[in-house]
Amino acid sequence: MDRIPDDPLNELLRYTSNLVMALNSAHIWSRWKIMKEMWIEVLLYAAHSCQHVNHVRQLAQCDLEFLTLIWVMMGSCFIEAYTLNIITDELD
């Protein structure tokens, strides 16, 4: 059997396949826990991946997008090491 080449899409497909198999074999409450943890990870990654300047601009305009709120919560919980100096330097 030919080996599937390593690239990001194939890695994602392998990860997704393993996740589906785990969900199918898990108890219903375990499924919910797995899906909850996955969505939390996805939201934290998405909020962190956006540029800080965009979040700050949205906050300045009182445009409270969901990912911006998550970004604020991450900062207030000390999950990320954001400081006011970094934010103001990027705005200049």
Rounded Cα distance between 64 and 62, Å, is 6
Q: How many CB atoms lie within 10 A of CB 47?
A: 22
Amino acid 59: pLDDT? 86
Amino acid 79: pLDDT? 52
- Name the H helices within 1-92: 8-25, 28-49, 52-60, 66-76, 84-91
Sign of CA dihedral 9, 36, 74, 51: positive
Amino acid 1: pLDDT? 44
Residue 43 token pair: 């939201």
Q: What is the mean pLDDT of each run of 10 residues along the chain (92 residues)?
A: 64 82 83 85 85 86 85 71 55 58
